[in-house]
Amino acid sequence: MASCKSSIALNLTDRVGSSYPPRVSGEIHVIIGPMFAGKTTSLLRRIRSERNNGRNVAMIKSSKDTRYAIDSVVTHDGVKFPCWALPDLTSFRHNVGEDAYEKLDVIGIDEAQFFEDLYDFCCKVADNDGKTVILSGLDGDYLRSFGSVLDIIPLADTVTKLTARCEVCGKKAFFTFRKTAATQTELIGGADLYMPVCRQHYVNGQTVVETSRIVLESTSVHHQTTQLSCLEAATAAVLQSQ
């Protein structure tokens, strides 16, 4: 009987590529919200607290985030924590080494929205390897959807949505407004490019952006730089006049 069990375990191990049954129960905790809401601050606080409780921790961030430091997670007000800056999460285990990976209890992930393999990594680390994942990231881009973090919600033990302060009126901010006319989803930046806004000022701002874009595209303003500056100036003026 014992050999039968171990042969089943062996087969499953072969198939899923990790230990079966899982050694201990893992956890996934998700921190979301707009930019400047304190997501990274909260992640660092939790990781430090785990470390102070004697658990082995590692921090990862996307290597796309080069704003304040290459190999540290840094909050907007300058609090730092050393990290692995990686292009994807799948390479983490190889980078950190098998022995060090085995000993890890808790893995923190910042800027989680930039990792396309976030779902697979979280499943593997928590479900199969029994580790705790604490991740922070944007639930919404400037158009209010950022796929990879939203996909994790059904896997999570806890989800904490933080808010910032609307830069226009000071009310609670749930969204991030992009201050430039750039339209690509990923655009690295801080307060130079983005501001947190409440629902009213998000909707007002987006309406101005879209209207200005339509007007500018249908006029004879040929110079693209001029068009973009017009759009940005119009948006800023409307937002500040609310």
Ligand X SMILES: Nc1ncnc2c1ncn2[C@@H]1O[C@H](COP(=O)(O)OP(=O)(O)O)[C@@H](O)[C@H]1O
Interstrand relation of 57-62 and 158-161 (parallel, antiparallel or unpaired): unpaired
Contacting ligand X within 62-91 (CB under 6 A): 75-77
Q: Does 177 bind ligand X (CB under 6 A)?
A: no
Return the closest-CA partner of residue 123 out of 161, 96, 156: 156
Residue 152 near residue 122, CB atoms below 8 Å:
yes
- Binding segment for ligand X among 18-26, 29-37, 96-104, 116-124 (CB under 6 A)? 29-37
Q: Tell the smallest beta-carbon distance from residue 171 to ligand X (Å).
A: 13
Task: Report the SS3 class of residue 54.
Answer: coil
- Is 48 or 76 the residue whose CB approaches ligand LXEULUCI more closely? 76
Note the helical H segments in 104-242: 118-122, 147-150, 199-218, 224-240
Q: Which residues pair with 172 in a beta bridge?
A: 165
Contact code string over 26-55 relative to ligand LXEULUCI, x by CB under 6 A: ---------x---xx---------------
**One of 30, 37, 122, 197 touching ligand X (CB under 6 A):** 37
Q: Does 174 bind ligand LXEULUCI (CB under 6 A)?
A: no
Cα torsion through 199, 203, 204, 207, rounded to 10: 170
C-beta nearest to ligand LXEULUCI: residue: 141
- Is 6 or 185 the residue whose CB approaches ligand LXEULUCI more closely? 185
Helix (H) or strand (E) holding 62: strand 57-62
Structure tokens, 189? 């930046």
Q: Which residue ranges make up the site for ligand LXEULUCI (CB under 6 A)?
A: 35, 39-40, 65, 67, 138, 141-142, 176, 178, 185-189, 194
Catalytic residues: 111
